[in-house]
Structure 1
Amino acid sequence: MSDTSPVFGGETPSRPRGSLRTSVVWDVLTGALDDRAKAAGTDVLDVLDTGGGTGNFAVPVARLGHRVTVVDPSPNALFALERRAAEAGVADRVRGVQGDIHGLFDVVERGGYDAVLCHGVLEYVDDPAEGLRNAVDALRPGGALSLLAAGLGGAVLARALAGHFTEARQALTDPAGRWGEGDPVPRRFTAEQLTGLVGGAGLAVGAVHGVRVFADLVPGGLVDTEPGAMEALLKLEAAAAGLPAFHSIATQLHVLGEKQR
């Protein structure tokens, strides 16, 4: 295997500001990939990244030595993915195809993957349950699903702290978790809703983590200028991520699932 340190957005992995958004998910994901590789008796997994865009996760996963297929509806994103993979030296392990999760098997093989990433997808599809079933159907027996979606509680808290109390209440009571017509996110979830979807799709629900529990609430100037603040905040995020008490205020929620053998 190659270097396991991810590089997101072209930043170095030592203290990337972007790691506040990705470090928890990356740690869980790499652990799941290691477990799957050991169970499958191989160093190289076939990984599918649905809605993987420009390769924020796909390229680092390929740098671990795995083969990654990215399905995304945007030709521009796939072009950027190709360029990023080439710059990272993993062009031979990353393949981009245009499509979406509802027409997934028009472009990829059913049951052909050891792991599927479904990050930032369910918020935008018409039928989250159907989309998730397709992701599951792409897995081999024993395969792992990494599901990341917008959290309801984080949006409510953010609107309230910004003084938009009516919008906070609207998000809290809206079935889709939206705070108003100007909300750019079509749908948000609670941890219970996400684990229900994962279980309903036939997977065993594993770890659940809150992502960006504090990162979106801390002033950026403090993190950028205070010595040691970035490292301390990363450690705080890691410590809180797995605690159920903090899932309800996280900006995003991550659920790990496993397909039965």
Structure 2
Amino acid sequence: MSDPMRPRASLRTAVVWEVLKDALDAKVEAAGSDALDVLDTGGGTGNFAVPVARLGHRVTVVDPSPNALFALERRAAEAGVADRVRGVQGDIHGLFDVVERGGYDAVLCHGVLEYVDDPAEGVRNAVDALRPSGTLSLLAAGLGGAVLARALAGHFTEARQALGDPAGRWGDGDPVPRRFTAEQLTELVAKAGVEVGAVHGVRVFADLVPGALVDTEPGALDALLQLEAAAAELPAFHSVATQLHVLGQKQGPDRR
């Protein structure tokens, strides 16, 4: 895989990046335009925004953190894409206070729904920011991965707590406010007017494999990346993934 964020970070981003890149390439071909308008909600320091801009697209990042947006600006400048990356302070609930409704060919909503008060509203806003037939890339924490991780660490009571908790939390010390199943995410997306194209399990194995093994064993990183890619679209592995990725298209004709 040709992840621009290798080596170790690629274990967290490779599957999503490859899927997203393919989706943007397909959108470019369908639109007959070399550059798309992409919105990255909660995009932070530009883990995805900067690589997307390097593909030639115009990217707007909305994030509530001034420090993250400052780092984004520096990162974009270092990558030579400062003219294609714009950062604005805001969040998904007040999205249209800072960006145009219906103004984007693709919207990234990665690592946002876990932290908002109303995930359904967050998804609706992300979809409303799309042009007709626009592409939505949604990434959120998976319930099953958290349960499995707590159990393998020997925290069986916490694993049971997460399994039965409506928000998928394992206790008061859990840093993640909310987790989802694949069914919950696809239902949110479908109700917001998006046709689901694919669901991917992300970090199915990466968080369970000892880091020393990946760092020292020759060829282990590439082999693990290939394993992650092979398992990502198999429904059997969605229930144990640390994160879940949903890719879909806003329903309606493209009137660009």
Q: Which band: TM-score by shorter chain?
A: over 0.9
17, 33, 40: which one pairs with 2:24? 33
Deviations 1:99-152 (A, max 9, x none): 000000000000000000000000000000001000000000110000000000
Residues paired across the two proteins, number: 252
> Could you tell me which residue of structure 2 aligns to residue 159 of structure 1?
150
Q: 1:252 aligns with which of 243, 253, 256?
A: 243
Bigger shift: residues 36-45 or 186-195: 36-45
Deviations along 1:32-87, whole A, 9 cap, x unmatched? 10111111110100000000000000000000000000000000000000000000
Corresponding residue of 1:236: 227
> Post-superposition shift, 1:5?
4.9
Matching of residue 225 in structure 1 with residue 222 in structure 2: no
Amino acid at match of 1:178: R
2:69, 2:87 within 8 Å by CA — same for their partners in 1?
Answer: yes
TM-score (norm 2): 0.97
The 5 Å alignment of 1:49-198 reads 49-198=40-189
Shift, 1:155, TM fit: 0.1
Identity in percent: 87
Amino acid at match of 2:233: G
2:136 aligns to what SS in structure 1? strand
Distance in 1, Cα, partners of 2:111 & 2:214 = 25
In structure 2, relative to structure 1, the CA distance for the partners of 1:214 and 1:250 (3 Å cut) is same
The secondary structure found in structure 2 opposite 1:214 is: coil
Q: Secondary structure at the match of 2:115?
A: coil
User: Secondary structure in 1 aligned to 2:189?
Assistant: helix
Is 1:7 paired with 2:7?
no
**CA deviation after TM superposition for structure 1 residue 7, in Å:** 2.9
Structure 2 CA distance for aligned equivalents of residues 70 and 162 of structure 1: 36
Gaps of 5+ in 2: none
The CA RMSD measured in Å over matched residues stands at: 1.0
**CA deviation map 1:157-214 (0-9, x unaligned):** 0000000000000000000000000000000000000000000101101110000000
Given that 1:63 and 1:90 are in contact with CA atoms closer than 8 Å, whether structure 2 keeps it comes out as yes
- Distance in 1 of aligned mates of 2:227 and 2:39: 30
1:206 partnered with 2:191 = no
**3-state DSSP class of the match of 1:123?**
helix
